[in-house]
Homo-oligomer: A and B are copies of this chain.
């Protein structure tokens, strides 16, 4: 049971965390912090938060847990403002999509208090945002990756893990570097590729004709290109090094496929296509098997 939780950013991610903790009876009171007074007021009206925090020292006073769910670009500034007021009993976590850069920011901002920061990344999202979008089952059965630091105590990591488990999430553990390599490959690169394709087509002189014949396959392939450009600019830059590595591997892959296509090498093309189809089928089968029974904590 958490007595007091402070949430920076009361939109989809932070608001759903608050709603989920409340539903589970796992929190006493929730204090909302953020730059938008209107969002904080709305979150309070909706019962997502109990108190709108004003002064940082007062907000942090006696807090068990702080979640940073504001845009990642604000992370360092928020942590720096928090640092002088952070008491020994408070654990801070975040919800950013990249981790190495967040850890670097946190080290700069928190200095000797870095042990109190347990980085995290809930793998959940929807296309909506703001307090209205917050729901109490967003995290049920979803993964939350914690990238604990050497400085973190086991109890502090467990406090963050237990809060996410109370929301119905499944805890996974990676290092920040592993996390960023993994998500560069399976999330950040696909976003860049989808944006690149739609922009490529939109810039052609006959774009209108092309879009007229785009069908359901194109729609699914490019769905992630409907995501926030600002957010994905920030993620791309925050994970620049790992994303460049994945992009270069993909460029080499495409160059190889181009050579097979130009040579009319049907067997060569088919072997790549068939390997992809097989791997994807295995992956989908494994996901569906994992999702079939009620969600259980796998890693803790």
Contacts and interface: CB of A to CB of B under 8 A. Distances in A.
Given A145-B213, A195-B276, A250-B200, A221 B218 contact: no
What is the interface residue range for chain A against chain B?
Answer: 35 or more
A178 to B, nearest CB: 8
A220 B223 contact: yes
A233 B266 contact: yes
A186 B202 contact: no
Contacts of A251: 251, 254-255, 258
A121 to B, nearest CB: 10
A217 interface: yes
A266 B261 CA distance: 34
A245 to B, nearest CB: 11
Contact of A211 (B204, B215, B278, B286): B286
A112 interface: no
B243 A221 contact: no
Interface in A152-190: 172, 178, 182-183, 185-187, 189-190
Contacts of A221: 190, 193-194, 220-221, 223-224
Interface in A123-169: 123, 143, 145
A14 B129 CA distance: 45
Interface string A185-217: 111011111111111111110010111011101
A105 interface: no
Given A210-B182, A247-B258, A283-B211, A270 B230 contact: yes
Interface in A252-300: 253-255, 257-258, 261-262, 264, 266, 269-270, 272-281, 283-284, 286-287
A273 B215 contact: no
Given A261-B244, A270-B233, A277 B185 contact: no
Contact of A224 (B182, B207, B217): B217
A269 B237 contact: yes
30 contacts: A182-B210, A186-B218, A187-B214, A187-B217, A190-B197, A190-B217, A191-B217, A193-B221, A196-B250, A196-B257, A198-B276, A198-B280, A199-B279, A202-B275, A217-B224, A219-B287, A220-B224, A222-B276, A225-B280, A229-B270, A229-B274, A229-B276, A229-B277, A233-B273, A236-B269, A240-B261, A244-B262, A247-B254, A247-B257, A251-B254
